[in-house]
Amino acid sequence: MRNDVRSHLDRRAALRLLSALSGLLAASTKISGVALAETSPNASGTSPFAVEIAPRVYAHKGHVALYAPANEGDISNAGFVVGRDAVAVIDTGGSARVGAHLHQAIRQVTQLPIRYVINTHMHPDHVFGNSAFEADQPAFVGHHKLARGLSARAERYLAINGELLGADVFAGTKIVLPTLAISDVTKLDLGGREIIIEPQKTAHTDNDLIVRDSETGTVFLGDLLFSEHIPTLDGSILGWMSVLDTLAQAPAQRVVPGHGPPSMPWPDAAKPIRHYLQVVTDEIRAMIKADHTLSDATKTVGFSERDAWQLFEDYHVRNVSAAFAELEWE
Amino acid sequence: MASTRTAAQGAAPLRALALLAAGLLIAACFWSGARADEEDIWPALRADLFGERAVTEDTTAVSLEAPYRAEDAALVPLTVRIPAQMAGSVKSLKLVIDKNPAPLVADFTFGPAAGAGERMIETRVRVDMYSNVRAIVETNDGRLLMATKFVKAAGGCSAPALKDTDAALAEAGKMQIKLLAGASDGQREGELKIRHPQYSGLQLNQVTGYYIPAKFLRVIDVERAGERVFRMEGGISLSENPSIRFSYAAGADETLEVKAEDTDGRTFTGRATPKGA
């Protein structure tokens, strides 16, 4: 969310170019739907907003970018699972407008009722599309700590992201809190198809959950998994590593990260993020042991990871600050 | 612009901000940044803090290090140094953040154990919007000398306490005191960390719908072998889990003792003795 105007503009220009290029590539070589998914519906008008990554399981790839009017807040992944009787939506994008695009994509696939709208955690790029689903009267599903975390941040999230997108693009966006709070592993029925909601301990945030579709072995990991986009720490770095290690033990046919490709192999997809978190942790521990300060740490820790991630300049130092403040008390 | 500021604080702040953003096109990078430059509130603030007394910018008397762009507004490191030739004649240090809801961050009163060598205080603060940050020392003969840095940050004061709210509450009051290596010219360095949520009073409790009452460390006394290094009186602008790194005078007994008290009257104490002592 933070950057100066110039880099903001440069990045957007670069994104538009990338977006256009990937559209061309897809058109000329007919490579997979996954590649097609990298262009937004607004960029090409024809490519699908969401791709079918497993039978009746769809995922959308958001831009790897900060909030900007050109991307409408479409900067995170989302998806949906279609059962015999109903649909479950997993995350809703970063504005009511993105939520509406997702809604439209669902309606191109099925007319079944949308029974559940699940938020993998409280961050605005994953929950701000919720309002586009209110008319469907679904159960809004979230970790039992989501409401507390989001409410505490709501005013600021709305103000900052509203300003970044502009009033027009942001119109209709509001906070929609969970109506079904998840404290324990919970099964949700879509008619002949069960999805399993698994709340996690504090990791990326203190209100992360994952969504497992048993039928296809697909797991929506939310922001417990970042790819391409640098991870952002708003919970506990030690908890995050621990959660990733536990999840890596549980097999999955494929996973959907909160940011990055719409479908990835598991547990291989966890390796880069797990590595990043470990490097940051190890280097901060060494700094603390040598009596260095938080300020010192922000100047050196983790810079070997710079080329491995997009948006490194936007989030890395903040990650180091947050991790330092945690690790100095371990 | 003054009307914009008023509107932004009124009943429809989001709409006003959004309109402001649209009006400024992309120039309004993130919120409150646009508002922060509108007026210089320092003259009024100076009058509140020091009355008619002159405050002189003098970086030979006091220096301030702060990041120009704060990556985490709730955790902005500040370092103040008072050169050795000044240290003996400085009795107090105030840290001020002009645009914070509580601009006076901390007021340090030094004692004899602060020492005569270069004096250093480093801590972490919350910065609520783009603001000047000031370190102002008062000399024994009553002069006020200042160093100023501009910091770009937004949202530090209303940032929710801790990434992990439950852990913050469970562990309040824990203390770490360290005697650091690298002493020179009769000065030592110490580090004090206290777990405390430092509730600013600007954070919303979702369960009750009310703002969490301010609850923060009001005073911290640091002594070396019974002599004052400093007393710090602080407010909500000090980051949660306050961390203070400081210099102090070498001596025969270098035991550090810390006593802190929060706004609820809870006291926390700790001490550290040099290794091998």
pLDDT digits (tens, 9 = 90+) for A268-284: 999 999 999 999 999 99
Strands, E assignment, A192-253 = 194-199, 209-213, 218-226
Burial class (CB in 10 A: 0-12, 13-18, 19+), B31: buried
Asked if B193's CB is within 8 angstroms of A164's CB, the reply is: no
Asked if B18's CB is within 8 angstroms of A170's CB, the reply is: yes
Q: Tell me which residue in A145, A151, A291 faces B178 most closely, judged by beta carbons.
A: A291
pTM: 0.83
The residue among B146 and B13 whose pLDDT is bigger is B146
pLDDT given for residue B16 in this prediction: 37
- The model's pLDDT over B227-276, given as tens digits with 9 standing for 90+, comes to 999 999 998 899 989 999 999 999 889 899 999 999 989 999 999 998 75
Q: Which range, A290-299, B18-27, B210-219, is most confident?
A: A290-299
| pLDDT(B13) > 80 | no
pLDDT given for residue A172 in this prediction: 97
A17 and A323 in contact (C-beta within 8 Å)? no
Task: Report the percentage of chain B scoring pLDDT > 90.
Answer: 58
Residue whose C-alpha is closest to residue A139's, from A170, A84, A178, A83? A178
Other CB atoms within 10 A of residue A325 CB: 22
pLDDT given for residue B207 in this prediction: 62
Q: What are phi and psi of B64, to 5 degrees?
A: -130, 125
Tell me which of A144-158, A244-258, B22-36, B84-98 is least confident. B22-36
Residue found under tokens 């929506």: A220
pLDDT given for residue A153 in this prediction: 84
Contacts of A330 (CB under 8 A, 6+ apart): A238
Other CB atoms within 10 A of residue B86 CB: 18
CA angle centred on A181, ends A177 and A187, rounded to 5°: 125
Chain A residues touching B204 at Cβ < 8 A: 151-152, 154-155
CA dihedral sign of residues B249, B253, B254, B256: negative
Contact with chain A for residue B201, Cβ under 8 A: no
Question: In 3-state terms, what secondary structure has residue A77?
Answer: coil
| pLDDT(B210) > 60 | yes
Asked if A5's CB is within 8 angstroms of B26's CB, the reply is: yes
Q: Per-residue b/e over A226-265, b at no fewer than 16 CB within 10 Å? A: bbebbbbbbbbbbbbbebbeebbeeebebbbbbbbbbbbe
Distances (CA, A) of B106 to A40, A206, B223: 50, 31, 18
pLDDT given for residue B183 in this prediction: 62
- The model's pLDDT over A4-46, given as tens digits with 9 standing for 90+, comes to 333 333 343 333 333 333 333 333 333 333 333 333 444 444 5
The residue among B17 and B79 whose pLDDT is bigger is B79
Average pLDDT over residues A236-264: 98
User: Before A267, cis peptide (omega within 30)?
Assistant: yes
CA angle centred on B165, ends A159 and A67, rounded to 5°: 30
Q: Which two tokens stand for residue B249?
A: 């005078």
pLDDT given for residue B50 in this prediction: 96
- What chain A holds in terms of domains, given with CATH numbers, is 5-327 (3.60.15.10)
B94 and B103 in contact (C-beta within 8 Å)? no
The residue among B97 and B166 whose pLDDT is bigger is B97
Dihedral, CA of residue A99, residue A100, residue A102 and residue A108, to nearest 10: 160
Q: Report chain B's mean pLDDT, rounded to a whole number.
A: 81
| pLDDT(B112) > 90 | yes
Chain A residues touching B171 at Cβ < 8 A: 329
A326 vs A298: CA distance, rounded Å: 14
pLDDT given for residue A189 in this prediction: 98
Q: Tell me which residue in B154, B193, B206 faces A148 most closely, judged by beta carbons.
A: B206
pLDDT given for residue B214 in this prediction: 83
Amino acid at B16: A
Q: Tell me which residue in B29, B167, B195 faces A5 most closely, judged by beta carbons.
A: B29
pLDDT given for residue B213 in this prediction: 79
pLDDT given for residue A3 in this prediction: 36
Asked if B122's CB is within 8 angstroms of A206's CB, the reply is: no
Q: Which two tokens stand for residue A99?
A: 């939520």
Please compute Rg for chain A using Cα positions: 19
Instruction: Give the best residue of B9, B15, B71, B244 to mutate against chain A (max A CB count within 10 A).
Output: B71
- What chain B holds in terms of domains, given with CATH numbers, is 1-39 (no CATH), 40-272 (2.60.40.2470)
